Amino acid sequence: MELLTAVENAFEGRTRGRWVAPHLWESTLRIHAKQKIQLRSPDGTTLNTYIGSIKRAHGPRVRVRLTIGLPAKKDIPEGTEIWLLEQEIT
């Protein structure tokens, strides 16, 4: 398992699921839809899930950055760590 990043913000999407805006990271790790991850919240709870989709967010007050769509509607607090459960070797 490898730590990818931590959640800076989470919000409800227009469609099902939850979106998280992770802290910017400088990593060579590659992520993709359907990749298995584990969310570790600051209170110690964990949730095994997967990346539903990845989109770029942009706007007048937002720098272009990735957002990660998750299938769960569960609240995801700021500071929750996102761990990759499996990493493909390239």
* Residue 87 scores a pLDDT above 80: no
* Residue 18 scores a pLDDT above 80: yes
Tally of structural domains, the chain: 1
Tokens at 48, concatenated:
């095994």
Type of residue found at 14: R
Residue at 19 is within a domain: yes
Residue at 90 is within a domain: no
pLDDT at 67: 85
Type of residue found at 37: I
Radius of gyration of the chain (CA): 12
| Tens digits of residue pLDDT in 31-66 | 889 999 999 999 999 999 999 998 877 666 656 578
Q: Average pLDDT of the chain? A: 82
Counting every residue written for the chain, the total comes to 90
Residue at 89 is within a domain: no
50 with 36: CB under 8 angstroms? yes
Percent of the chain with pLDDT over 70: 81
Residue 9 belongs to domain spanning: 2-84
- The domain that holds 60 is classified in CATH as 2.40.30.10
* Residue 1 scores a pLDDT above 90: no
- Residue (of 4, 2, 1, 3) closest to 54 by Cα position: 4
